[in-house]
Structure 1
């Protein structure tokens, strides 16, 4: 889906921790955090990928394992290759995270107020590796740098963006997408791109409302499986 590996992107200037303004906790507050994933998050990333494959009606194409993800996903510094932002939620304020904080992307934290508490049937399965047992992984976005020759600038390509079903329609997908876009702006990149299925009209409407242009004239071309291997002989 992406072109050949782009040249290393420019090194961003470290910025101080950024925390979105929090609303006054009333009703049913849900505390939300977006942070850089680490190798210790692979079990949750693996489960999220398989849920995404089911949602996209492509489980027969999903062969990812925890071992293959761990071996391929965290071999380069964040933003220079494959990068994952993890979405976590908790009914209580977050305790200090046991995960290392990257100087170029401190966690983003905000609070949202819900009319009713979220019923999460998979809470135990997606419980985060935290000091606070109430922290749950709710989604992720995986992206990596590409390059625009027309702009003569790097950009980001979003491979996957997924929010678990019980946490949808709460603005969390927008938070994940906006976090990638904000990082692109911070690094002086030219654009952020991704693909969407033409049957997913809700997603298309959501992206258009965010200001994204859905390019009708482009089609994705892919070499994979036997067709790809044939070029190696």
Structure 2
């Protein structure tokens, strides 16, 4: 059944129970960026690498979920915080201009409520600016599933990271965007982000990483 009218969007802290959805979303992102050949993510790898540090002190994932506003909205409660910063779920209403037909909806049921549908995620981690002498956050991935793009949900997801960064007095939030992804570039610029074409990413991975080590 198509989703229409007004949606309730919730951004919450991911838990280990979200690993299957996160893995599927990462694979979808790799397909979109034509980088599937480089994507080796598995649920097991996520379990062994995420959730080792308290939220916002290491890799942190926020999940984006929706449900029809007229449905009984289940309160979302986080089931872990360790000694990290508490993140209260962010809830917003989104008015749809057009109905959304999500054929994969059943495969993205939220483990947190059983009724909400997972539609995206953002993964980020702390970094540090020597020029500002302040910590900040780097967004590794921000992804919204195709049926839900252009609805304002991506803005809610990105601003959730920015809001938390402000709360923690971070100096900046930064990320990369592929040069051919014109829609994403316009979206980020519309939010006030500066795209910096004079900078280039340098990366060592795989055999090159091993060869460069002392």
TM (norm. structure 1) is: 0.84
Residue 33 (str. 1) matches residue 33 (str. 2) = no
* Counterpart residue number, 2:31: 54
Structure 1 counterpart of 2:104, from 118, 122, 127: 122
* Counterpart residue number, 1:230: 211
Contact 2:94 2:152 in 1 (8 A): no
- Alignment: residue pair count: 206
* Counterpart residue number, 1:43: 20
Structure 2 counterpart of 1:198, from 136, 156, 179: 179
Q: Partners of 2:80 and 2:43 in 1: how far apart? A: 23
The C-alpha deviation readout for 1:93-127, integer Å capped at 9, x for no partner, is 42123642756210000111224432111011101
What stretches of structure 1 of length at least 5 have no aligned partner? 1-26
Residue 141 (str. 1) matches residue 122 (str. 2) = yes
Contact 1:43 1:66 in 2 (8 A): yes
Runs of 4+ in 1 over 4 A off after TM superposition: none
Structure 2 counterpart of 1:180, from 161, 174, 188: 161
What stretches of structure 2 of length at least 5 have no aligned partner? none
Contact 2:15 2:80 in 1 (8 A): no
Between 102-111 and 188-197, the greater mean CA deviation after superposition? 102-111
Residue 63 (str. 1) matches residue 44 (str. 2) = no
Q: Partners of 2:196 and 2:98 in 1: how far apart? A: 38
Q: Partners of 1:151 and 1:97 in 2: how far apart? A: 36
Q: Partners of 1:123 and 1:202 in 2: how far apart? A: 25
Q: CA deviation at 1:128?
A: 1.1
Contact 1:39 1:70 in 2 (8 A): yes
* Counterpart residue number, 2:55: 78
TM (norm. structure 2) is: 0.92
The C-alpha deviation readout for 1:16-44, integer Å capped at 9, x for no partner, is xxxxxxxxxxx711110000000110000
* Counterpart residue number, 1:110: 92
Q: Partners of 1:190 and 1:93 in 2: how far apart? A: 39
Change (3 A) 1:116 1:204: closer
- RMSD value, Cα: 1.5
